[in-house]
Amino acid sequence: MARRIVKNKLFLTGMAIILPIAFLSIFAPLFCRYNPTDINIENALLAPSWQHPLGTDSLGRDLWARMLYGGRVSLSVGFVAVGISVIIGVLLGAVAGFYGGWVDEAIMRFVDMMLCFPSFFLILTLAALSKPSIYIIMFIIGITNWMGPARLIRAEVLSLKEQNFILAARSLGLPEHRIIIRHLIPNAIGPVLVNATLGIAAAILVESSLSFLGLGVQPPMPSWGNILTDAKSTLGVGWWITLFPGLAIFITVLGFNLIGEAVRDSL
């Protein structure tokens, strides 16, 4: 799979998009001359220039610095939220598929119940009821998106648990939790990797939407979503404040979607 995926043009294109964004975000202090939260009203709404490559916002804050630090937030939310959803989904799906019977029935009916709720409105409700912070947003997105990985891993476990290597493990007297963790999950994880890669893009979109609505990452901490919120009042005079964060969200989501499609093709 690794040999196939590194030759995949979609994967190479996606990585060419994501790696520079991730590198600039991780090492943001090295590429910023200004603090992203420093306010300077005298420099408000300056157009892109050599001094401010992406211009400034309505409070005179350097948009380049805010974009890079905002990328840290958006990427962190994407990876952590998907990590939470994958851990929950894989464990519940593996248990449901391995034990079957009433255990499978109970878990899958709970999955069906969760899928009945419009996920974004559920996230909005939970975000509105809690104190907005980056950690709460990660947790909320994670616990509302585990159903997909759970169904995928369950389907794979149902087909794998009757294979000879699982029967051999049972005959050797291995405990059930060891069979699930060491034998079933590693062999069933492929489709979940595809789902997780695409899920990172979805989580970034959700975080941006929540921040845009004022329920996500709170100022002065920058994120691409709340930068767009600030841009609403200056849309007619500061086009750059809307263009660059919107473009960053679009390009990042596109990059992760390309990687996800490449992983799917390779599997």
Instruction: Kindly report the backbone phi and psi dihedral angles of residue 172, in degrees, each rounded to the nearest multiple of 5, phi listed first.
Output: -80, -5
> What is the spatial distance between Cα 169 and Cα 186, in angstroms, rounded to a whole number?
15
Residue that wins the pLDDT comparison between 81 and 234: 81
Q: What is the mean pLDDT of residues 241-265?
A: 90
Band (107; pLDDT cuts 50, 70, 90)? very high
Q: What is the model's pLDDT at position 230?
A: 80
Task: Using the predicted structure, report yes or no on whether residue 236 has a pLDDT greater than 80.
Answer: no
Band (21; pLDDT cuts 50, 70, 90)? very high
CATH of 2-28+56-266, one of 1.10.3720.10, 3.40.50.2300, 2.60.40.420, 3.40.50.970: 1.10.3720.10
Instruction: Kindly report the backbone phi and psi dihedral angles of residue 44, in degrees, each rounded to the nearest multiple of 5, phi listed first.
Output: -65, 135
Q: What is the model's pLDDT at position 61?
A: 92
Condensed to tens digits (0 to 9), the pLDDT of residues 113-148 reads 888 877 778 788 877 787 777 888 888 889 888 999
Neighbours of 98 (CB within 10 A): 21
Q: What is the mean pLDDT of residues 83-110?
A: 93
Strands (E), 31-110: none
Torsion angle in degrees (nearest 10) through CA of 181, 183, 184, 188: 110
- Reading the block at residue 163, the tokens are 């294979």
**Whole-prediction pTM:** 0.86
Instruction: Kindly report the backbone phi and psi dihedral angles of residue 189, in degrees, each rounded to the nearest multiple of 5, phi listed first.
Output: -80, -15
Domain boundaries, the chain: 2-28+56-266
